Structures are given as C-alpha cells and as structure tokens.
A and B are shown apart, each in its own frame.
Chain A
Amino acid sequence: MTKGRGTDGSLLASLPWTLLALAISLGPHVPYLPWWITAAFIVCGVWRFSIEKRRRPVPSTWFRALLAMSCFLGVLATYSTISGVGPGSALLAIMAALKLIETRQRRDQFVLLFISIFLVMSSLLREQYLWSLPYLVLSVFMIMTAWLRISSPGAERPRRSFGTSGRLVMYAAPLAIAMWIFFPRIATPFWSVPMDTGTAQSGVSDTMSPGDISSLSMSDAVAFRVTFKGVIPEPRDRYWRGLVLTNFNGRTWTSSDPYAVRALEQVVYNGRPVEYTVTLEPTRQIWVFALDMPESWNLSRTFMGPQQQLARSIPIDQRMAYDAVSFLDYRTDVELSDDARDFFTTVPDTSNPRTRELARQMRAEHGSDAAFVEAVMRMFHEEEFYYTLQPPALGSDSVDRFLFDTRQGFCEHYASAFAVLMRAAGIPSRVVLGYQGGEVNPMGGHMIVRQSDAHAWNEIWLPDLGWRRIDPTSAVAPERIEAGRSGSMFDGVAEAWGFSSPSMWVYEMQMYMDALNAKWNEWILGYGPENQDRFMDWLGIDDPDWQKKVLLLIGWTMGLLFVVSFAMALRNGAPRRDRAARLYRQFVKRSGQVPAVGETPAAFALRLQSEDRLPAATVNEITRSYLEARYGVPDPTWLERLEKAVGAMPRFASAARAQRTA
C-alpha cells in the first residue's frame, strides 16, 4: 500500500478485537503508568479506529517518527531513565499505542498481539497477586480470541472463536502446570528484576523529621505476616523492632552505621522465648523486623547492629520468610561508656531552646531521672496533647513548636520530643522505628502487620537497668498501643473523612482474602527450591537434583503429548485413509481392468464378476473392505481385511490365469 492512500476498511472487523486485547493487557499497568501514557494509548486506539472507519490514510512516516521520538523523550523526562520496570513498561505501552497507528494489514495486528502478550508478562515483574493469575489467564484467552478473530475475519462467529481459544488455553494448562512444578528452581536466580528505587514504599523510612510531614497517609498494605508457634503476645507487647535513630540535628533524626559493631553479646535475655515466622513483604531497605528483642533469626546476611537493630547487607527486594526467636524480657548495655553517654545525650545547641530549658527545669524539680521521666510522661498525658494523623507543619525548631504551640502530632512527634527532652536533661535516649501492633487473622491464624501499624518509640538508658523501652505515644493515646490498629486508624481519621467504621462483614471479607493471600504467597509465589524439594519428596522422589527434575518435566511433557495424540487418533480415527486407496489401486492394476471415469467400486466389481476373471469372493471381499475402509465409519479392521485380501490376490489371479491356459 502506498503512502497517502486511505485504508480499505478491511481491518474494521478485527480491529476492535485487537484493541480489546491491548486494553486488557495494559490494564495492570495503568495504576503505575504516568497518566499521559494511558491517555495517549486511548487516543491512539480511538484515532486508529476512526481512520479505519472513515477510510482515511494512516499518518505519514515523518509524523509517526516525530511522535515516537517525542514519546520516547516524554518517558525519559518522566522517569529520567529508560531502564527498570517502570520506564520499561511505560515505553512498551507507548510503543504499542504508536504501533497501532501504523497498523495497515492483518500481519501488523499480529505484531500488536505479540506486544500484548509481552505487556501482560511484564506486569508480572511488578506484582504477583492472587488475582494476577486469573487475570493472566483471561488476558491470554482474550488475546488468543483476538488472534482467531483476525485469522478468520467475519467467517467465524465470535462464540466459536471464544470456544476455540478457551480450548487452546485449556490444552496449554497441563503443560504450564508441569513446567511450574518440575522446572528446576534455583536458590539464587541468574537474573534479577531491576527495582525502581524511586517507588519504594514502606511505613518505615531511614530518617525521621517530624513536622515536615503534615499528614500521614494510612496505607492498608501488608508490611509482614507473622505465624507464632506458641502463645501470641499481648497487643501491648507487639513492638516490632526495626531501625534505631541516634543522631539528631535539631530537625531530623538519622541512624548511625548499623554494620559497625556486632551487639548481640550486649543483650541478656530472660523469661520465655517467643518463636515465630515472619513473611516480610519487599521493602527495598536493609531493615529486618522482629519482635522486641530478637535473640536468633535464620535470615541470611542479617546481623544485629550496635543498637540491636537487625540489618541485612543487601536490600530486601523480594518477599522473604524467616524464623526468629525473641524474648519480651531482656536487658541491654547495663554498662554504658562515657563516650556513648555523650553520644546519646547530644542535642544541637542552636535549636529548640525552649525545650532544652523546659528539660533542665523539670529535671531540677524532680529528684531522680526516673521521677523526671515519669513527670514528662504525665505531662504528655495530662496536658493538652492530641494524637492526630494530620498535625500542622512545624517549620524550624520543630520540637519547640510542637511542645509549646501546636501540641498535635503522631508517634514521630512524641518520640522526637521525648528523646530531645531526655537528652537535654542528660539521660541517654534514642528513637526506635518499627511497627507496633498487628491483628490476628481468625481465618488463617496468622498475624498481619500493616504499613499503618508503623510506629516510633523511644529507648532511654538508666543506670543498672540499661536501655528501657518507653513509648510516649501511649501516654497520649493509650488505645493506639492497647487496641492496635483499628483504634488509631479510625480515631479522628475516619470521622474526618466522613467514614463510619466498616461493617463486620467487610472486615471478615478482608480477613478471608488475606488468609487466601497468605496461602498463595506461601505455596504459589513461594514455591522455591525448598518447596519444590519438599513436594518432590512428597511425590516419593528421593534426592531430586535438577537432572531428575528436567527428566520428570520431559517425561511429563512426553506423556501429555502421548495422551493428547492418542485421544486425537481415537477421535479422528484411522490410520491414514489413503492407504486404502493405494491398496485398491493395486487391486485394480492386478485385475487387468480399468474402471471407467465415474464407475463406482461396486459397479466395477459387478463388471469384473460378469467377466469372471477373478473369483467373485475375492472381488467382493476387496470391494467391500475398500468401501468400508475408505468411506465407512473409521475402523482399522477393514483396512486389515483389505490388505489381507489384496495381499492374497496374485495367487488367485495367477491361479485363474493358469486355469485358463491349461
């Protein structure tokens, strides 16, 4: 087709199917793509369709090149890179949209369907939820249907296409399952998906600057799930220790090097151990969460830092499960060096003068450190402090502003203010970030800790006691600690947004879905080398190495193919039908006669019999078997009979000839 000529409208029937397949495969990407790519996608789809509808020409090569270039630059401008899942899928999506407007022939639509499959696959790099699988199957089904529609435009009814594509997907399923089960799993994959560092999401960040955030978004996303082996700790004991912030510059708290010292020996554990398994969602951070205070854990490359924080030497960029043992009763660092004392009492001299003054005053009023701590807690409890997720912004001297002016904040504000007060009064203190709470899923029996459970609390060091956990937020909003999530989640927030608490069945549905999700994670997504070996073991295969797995896979595939081909042979019947024709031609040749055009085998047989050159029985047998084998209901016995009769023929023929000559 030359440039400038209008389209002939021949794609009008199949184009909607292609568009549908593309749209379905784009679906999972939409929440992550910049809005303009989705918009461009829709525009290109509508544009291409109207071109076809009005028989207009597709845009010129120059125009398309210009568009492609600008879209490429647009992606580059949005992400400032073109590598990674985000920019990659954005590029893929926008290029699919652009490919659409240069689609001229049926062939081009197949390319688009290939791109659709690629789009669907790439969405799995980003997320693999429970619903991803049915969606994937649906997408493949729709793409296959589109494929069939394009292959037979107009001739086939849509219902038939749907049926065929459903059958195709079903045929593929056993093979896919076999692949999934038997394909050797490798503990450390050869490749890794490049993660988008910019999109890391976690309720816990590496630093804390109360006052910079004026509203905390409540994410219901799961941070980690915990399965306890024994008794589940009380809500007030559910402090999931993450990282420890030690340095304060007047505005922002930061952590010191977590890899500096191994600190395990500084902890003395008492009481009974709590054993549990944590399934941590990827955080793209190094922090590993465990119940305060962890004693042992089996996650590789994970060490306890100098402030008893667990850190991994590489970021957690995929879901990880680890067993851990914690003790709720412990002591750490009963002895603190003078250097350490200085380090944990450092407050910048230049900021928050009012707070430092208040600390000095209060410390002077109260005789001991313990009494001072109690007084501060009482102050938070009794004076007009409010717990809110939407505190006003604080600006510089944030602690001063918070303690004396706004008096509204969430855990970070209280933890920060408390630590500064302590330090100003000469009491070593630090901030711990992690999660507090967690709800037990009655369906799965496991505990869910959500991003909205993220929490900040303090540790102060007292002589002879070591570091003690103290949570100033509990003085302000005790229900936040006692009841866990729902208390804090809906206090103020829900009313402010005009929600009422969700009804019970919504809650139950959520719990049920989460239980299902947990199983999904454990068995489907977590089907790694260990699960595979365990499953092989269960199947009775000892010591499954990768060769055995590959052999099993091949065996299964071969078996499947055998079953399928056997079924097909049964259905379509028949050894090859033309074998009957070949045998019959042999018979005709040996009979010495030539059937006339249009003479049926039966008529030919009659003629042969009237000429009496061959025994009537032979002719009848061959004709009968041939008719049945070639035209009758498929049945191999007729072919055998035909073969036998034709094979026995020369003897008859020569005998007949011999008789005549004699």
Chain B
Amino acid sequence: MQSGSTLEKLPIGDDQNRAALDRARKTLGTIILGKDDQIALALSCLLARGHLLIEDLPGLGKTMLAQSLARVLGLSYRRIQFTSDLLPADIVGVSVFRQEKGEFEFQPGPIFSQLILADEVNRATPKAQSALLESMEEYQVSVDGNTRTLPEPFFVVATQNPADQIGTFPLPESQLDRFLMRLELGYPNEDNERELIIGEDRRSMLEGIDAVASPEALLALQKAAAALHMSDPLVDYIQALVRQTRESPDIDIGLSPRGALALAAAAKAHAFVEHHSGVYPDDIQAVFAAVAGHRLKPAGNTTYRSAAELCQHVLDSVAIP
C-alpha cells in the first residue's frame, strides 16, 4: 500500500486531514501548556470514537481542555453544568405546548451538540447522570416516545472531581465503562505555571483561535485510525495485558472483552496521532492507564495507591512480544 521508507513520510491517511490533526495538536499545546501526553490521549480518544472523562481537582484546566478541543476541531459545543438538582429534561430537552400552533414542540436540550462538556458530572443525581450516559451509548435520545438521533460526530467530555469530595454521586463502574479513557491532568510544572500567570488570558486566547479541522475531517480521520495496521504480536500483547489484569492478585476485577476492544481502538488511534505506521508497544503503554485505570477494581489489600500505579505495575509485569 505504502512504503514507509523514512520516518518523515506520513504513511497513513489523507494528507490534508492528517495535517489538520497535527495542527490541532500543536494549537492545543499552545493553550494547555506542558500537557502534550494528555492532549495526544484526548485526541486519540476522539479519533477512537470514545468519550472522555477528565478527573482531577478543580482549577487544573479540565474545562479549558474540553473547550479548546471543540474549538480547534470545529465542533458545535455545549456545556452542561451538572448540579444536584439537574433533571434529565435539562439535558435531552423537553416538549413545550405552543398555544398559537396548538401542538407540542420539541425543544432540543444541550445534548444535541457535537461536543458536550458535562462539567462535574458526579455532582448530579444518578437519574440525571444516566440520561447523559445512555445517550453516550446509544447515540440517540428518546423523548416523549420519539427517538432522536444525535449529531455526528458526538463526543462527551465529562469532568469529575475526585470522589472523596463532599456532595458528589460517584459514577458506578458500569457507567465508568462507557468512557473510553479517563485522564488526569495534574499540576503544571513551574515553568508552565509561570507562563500561565504572566501570559495571555487563556480564555481570550481561545477566542482568537480558528478551527483547524472540521467534523467531516474528523470522521475521515476516525476511519483511517480504525484501519491502522495492528500486527499479530501486538494482539498477543493486548491479550497478555488483559490476562494479567484478570490474574493479578492486586486486582479484583480485570478488564472485560469490551475493555480489551477499547484498548485496541485507543492504541490504534494513539499510533495514528503519533504517526506510527502500525501500532507500537509504546502506543499500548501510552493509553493503557487511561483506558484501563477506571475499569479495574483494585483488590482491597493492594499496596498500589492509585489506578495509575496499578496500571504501571501491570505494564511492568508483562513482557512485550
């Protein structure tokens, strides 16, 4: 098909769309400083048609990441602030009786956008949460007995404060599973923080940037990413990792087959973002914590304090075929 005789030649995908993707990554890097890995992961998540959960303390730029993703990729964007009194109708919309027409008219909710930022999703009641999570799974919503298809592409970027904060309803495992990746942003390093302080206001900076890609380009990129070559040893590697999560004494519940599929899809997308001609072991390792972290249930007596550590432990105990 193509001969990747040099590293510089981009082996896969439509050149124009590829270039747009690279530009998007670069632009995101100028807004969210020093988080190149997380940006690559977030883009991979979108390319793999997955939803993204960003979990971290307030004020670390979760919202900013979601907003800039929508902006850069040219997606229509709505933000839903989840609160404890949020109702499902506030998300999917409601039918309103129009007196002048004498009929009900559907008022679409904020869910009818290409990129939804579900802010602080664990602050809402499970009822409101499930309204969102169901639409994520089905790519459609049912209101008053009518099924309405959501726009395409459709992404949910949900943010969540760590569960030990007061007044939250943590998402159960089954619903966490709907997110392809969970990211932690973490604090910026000192240089970056300094630049944040003295530099331009990020919000106004965001106003100034143009979309570098389009929804159509994104759909094409998704297709190209899904078609990326995955060699047999890599499949073996994924299987070995999944087996390790199931057999490790530190983990109560390992990865499901859906988790394995998610791992493969995310790794492909990551390889695509990284310009690899096929999926490399590095791609799997890069996405592993983000994909597996929220799907694993650590054993009670485990010595690993965080999901990230646990995932690293799994990676460190499986040989690369």
B1-25: CB near A (< 8 Å → 1, else 0) gives 1111101000100000000000000
Contact present for A631 and B4 (CB under 8 Å) = no
Query: Is A603 part of the contact surface with B, judged by Cβ < 8 Å?
Result: yes
Which among A630, A631, A638 has the greatest number of chain B C-beta atoms within 10 A?
A631
Output the least CB separation between A362 and chain B (Å).
98
For the complex, is A579 an interface residue (Cβ under 8 Å from B)? Answer: no
For residue B137, CB closer than 8 A to chain A, the reply is no
Given A577-B232, A631-B281, A632-B278: A598 and B1 interface contact (C-beta under 8 Å):
no
Contact B317 A603 (CB under 8 A): no
Given A596-B316, A624-B7, A633:B232 Cβ within 8 A: no
Chain B residue at smallest Cβ distance from A595: B320
Tell me the complex Cα distance, A581–B279, Å: 16
B36 interface residue, CB < 8 Å from A? no
Given contacts A598-B320, A637-B5, contact A631 B315 (CB under 8 A): no
Alpha-carbon gap, A290 to B277, bound state (A)? 77
Known: A601-B281, A624-B7, A637-B5. A631 touches B234 (CB 8 A): yes
Complex CA–CA separation, A624 to B276 (angstroms): 10
B280 touches A602 (CB 8 A): yes
Residue B282 contacts which of A596, A602, A632 (CB distance < 8 angstroms)?
A602
A386 to B290, CA, bound (A): 100
Q: How far is B231's CA from A637's CA once the two chains are assembled, in angstroms?
A: 17
Q: How far is the CA of A51 from the CA of B229 in the complex (A)?
A: 48
Contact B231 A632 (CB under 8 A): yes
Segment 583-619 of A: residues with Cβ below 8 Å from B: 596-603
- On whether A633 and B4 interact (CB within 8 A), knowing A600-B281, A602-B280, A627-B280, the answer reads yes
Interface string of B209-246 (1 = CB under 8 A from A): 00000000000000000000101111000000000000
* Bound Cα distance from A637 to B9, whole angstroms: 15
Inter-subunit contact A633/B320 (CB<8 Å): no
Report which residue of B1, B2, B231, B317 has the largest number of chain A beta carbons within 10 angstroms of its beta carbon: B231
A598 touches B315 (CB 8 A): yes
Proximity bits, A629-643, B CB within 8 Å = 1, else 0: 011111101100000
Contact status of A632 and B229, CB under 8 A, knowing A597-B317, A598-B317: yes
B1: chain A residues at CB < 8 Å are: 633
A631-B280 contact given A577-B231, A600-B285, CB 8 Å threshold: yes
Distance to closest chain B CB from A656 (angstroms): 24
Q: A600-B280, A601-B281 are in contact. Are A631 and B233 (CB under 8 A)?
A: yes
Q: Does B318 contact A (CB under 8 A)?
A: yes
Asked whether any CB of chain B lies closer than 8 Å to the CB of A479, the reply is no
Please name all residues of chain A whose beta carbon is closer than 8 Å to the beta carbon of B316 when the two chains form the complex: 596-598
Interface residue from B233, B279, B315 paired with A577 (Cβ < 8 Å): B233
Least Cβ–Cβ distance between B307 and chain A, in angstroms: 17
* B172 → chain A closest CB, angstroms: 31
Scan residues 269-291 of chain B and give those whose CB is less than 8 A from a CB of chain A.
Answer: 276-282, 285
Task: Find chain B residues with CB under 8 A from A602 CB.
Answer: 280-282
Query: Is A102 engaged at the interface, CB distance under 8 Å to the other chain?
Result: no
Q: Which residues of A contact B282 (CB under 8 A)?
A: 600, 602-603
- Residue B198, interface by CB 8 Å: no
- Residues of A within 8 Å of B315, CB to CB, are 598
Q: Complex: how many Å from CA A627 to CA B320?
A: 12
Q: Are A631 and B278 in contact (CB under 8 A)?
A: yes
Give B319's nearest chain A residue, CB to CB: A597
- Within 1-59 of B, Cβ neighbours of A (below 8 Å) are at 1-5, 7, 11
CA distance A596 to B278 in the complex (A): 23
**Chain A residues with Cβ under 8 A from B317's Cβ?**
597-598
User: Contact between B3 and A598 (Cβ–Cβ < 8 Å)?
Assistant: no
For B232, list chain A residues within 8 Å (CB): 577
A491 proximal to B (CB < 8 A): no
* Nearest A-chain residue to B231, judged by Cβ: A631
Judge whether A281 is part of the interface by a CB distance below 8 angstroms. Answer: no
Chain B residues closer than 8 Å to A603, beta-carbon distance: 282
Once the chains are docked, how many angstroms separate the CA of A630 from the CA of B234? 9
Tell me the total A-B contact number using a CB cutoff of 8 A. Answer: 66
In the assembled complex, the Cα of A637 lies from the Cα of B280 at a distance in Å of 18
Cβ A633 vs Cβ B318 within 8 A: no
A596 to B318, CA, bound (A): 10
Instruction: Report if A8 contacts B (CB, 8 A).
Output: no
Give CA–CA (A637, B6) in the complex, Å: 11
Quick check: is A628 within 8 A (CB to CB) of the other chain? yes
A632→B277 contact, CB < 8 A: yes
* Given contacts A577-B231, A631-B281, A637 and B3 within 8 Å (CB-CB): yes
How far, in whole Å, are A630 and B237 apart by their CA atoms in the complex? 13
Task: Report how far A627 CA is from B234 CA in the complex, Å.
Answer: 11
B5 near A632 with CB under 8 A, answer: no
Closest-CB distance, B13 to chain A (whole angstroms): 12
A633 near B319: Cβ-Cβ < 8 Å: no
Taking CB atoms, residues of chain A closer than 8 Å to B7 are 624
Q: Which residues does chain B contribute within 8 Å of A634, judged by CB atoms?
A: 229
Tell me whether A628 and B285 are in contact in the complex, defined as CB-CB below 8 angstroms, given that A577-B233, A597-B318, A598-B315 are known contacts: no
Bound Cα distance from A633 to B224, whole angstroms = 14
B230 to chain A, nearest CB (A): 8
Q: How far is the CA of A632 from the CA of B278 in the complex (A)?
A: 4
**Contacts of A599 on B, CB cut-off 8 Å?**
320
Contact B280 A635 (CB under 8 A): no
Bound together, the chains give a CA A3 to CA B319 distance in angstroms of 50
Q: A residues within 8 A CB of B279? A: 631
Residues of A within 8 A of B281 (CB): 600-602, 631
- Report the separation of the CA atoms of residues A631 and B316 in the bound assembly, to the nearest whole angstrom: 20
Residue of A nearest to B11 (CB): A633
Q: Are B229 and A633 in contact (CB under 8 A)?
A: yes
User: Which residues of the other chain, A, contact B231 by a CB distance below 8 angstroms?
Assistant: 577, 630-632
Digitize B244-270: 1 where CB-to-A-CB distance is under 8 Å, 0 elsewhere.
Answer: 000000000000000000000000000
Residues of A within 8 A of B3 (CB): 635, 637
Task: Tell whether, in the assembled complex, residue A632 and residue B276 are in contact, meaning their CB atoms are under 8 Å apart.
Answer: yes
Q: If the complex has contacts A597-B317, A628-B4, are A633 and B277 also in contact, measured as CB distance less than 8 A?
A: yes
Which residues of chain B are near A632, meaning CB under 8 Å? 4, 11, 229, 231, 276-278
- Given A633-B2, A635-B4, verify A598-B280 contact (CB < 8 Å): no
CA distance A578 to B234 in the complex (A): 13
Task: Across the interface, name the chain A residue whose C-beta is closest to B232.
Answer: A577
Q: What are the residues of chain B within 8 A of A601 when measuring CB–CB?
A: 280-281, 320
Q: With the chains together, A630 CA to B281 CA distance in Å?
A: 10
Complex: A633 Cα to B319 Cα, angstroms:
22
CB neighbours (8 Å) of A600 from chain B are 280-282, 285, 320
Q: How far is the CA of A624 from the CA of B280 in the complex (A)?
A: 11
Q: Shortest Cβ distance from A610 into chain B, in angstroms?
A: 17
Q: How far is the CA of A524 from the CA of B234 in the complex (A)?
A: 52
Residue of A nearest to B1 (CB): A633
Q: Which residues of A contact B2 (CB under 8 A)?
A: 633
CA–CA, A628 to B315, complex, Å?
Answer: 22
Measured between alpha carbons, how far is A600 from B278 in the docked complex, in Å?
Answer: 15
User: What is the CB-to-nearest-CB distance from A438 to chain B, in angstroms, rounded to a whole number?
Assistant: 64
Q: How far is the CA of A149 from the CA of B5 in the complex (A)?
A: 44
Q: Are B233 and A630 in contact (CB under 8 A)?
A: yes
Which chain A residues lie closer than 8 Å to B280 at the CB level? 600-602, 627, 631
Chain B residues near A581 (CB-CB < 8 A): 233
- Determine the distance from Cα of A638 to Cα of B280 in the docked complex, in whole angstroms: 15
In the complex the two chains form, is A598's CB within 8 Å of B318's CB? yes
Q: How far is the CB of A297 from chain B (nearest CB, A)?
A: 66
**Would you list the 6 A-B pairs with minimal beta carbon distance, nearest first?**
A632-B277, A632-B278, A600-B281, A598-B316, A633-B229, A631-B278
Could you pull out 22 A-B pairs where Cβ atoms are within 8 angstroms?
A577-B233, A596-B316, A597-B318, A598-B285, A598-B315, A598-B316, A598-B320, A600-B280, A600-B320, A601-B281, A602-B282, A624-B7, A627-B280, A631-B231, A631-B234, A631-B279, A632-B229, A632-B276, A633-B277, A633-B278, A635-B5, A637-B3
Binding site for B on A (CB under 8 A): 577, 581, 596-603, 624, 627-628, 630-635, 637-638
Q: A601-B281, A628-B278, A634-B229 are in contact. List 13 more A-B contacts (CB 8 A).
A: A598-B317, A600-B280, A600-B281, A600-B282, A602-B280, A602-B281, A603-B282, A624-B7, A628-B4, A631-B281, A633-B1, A633-B11, A633-B229
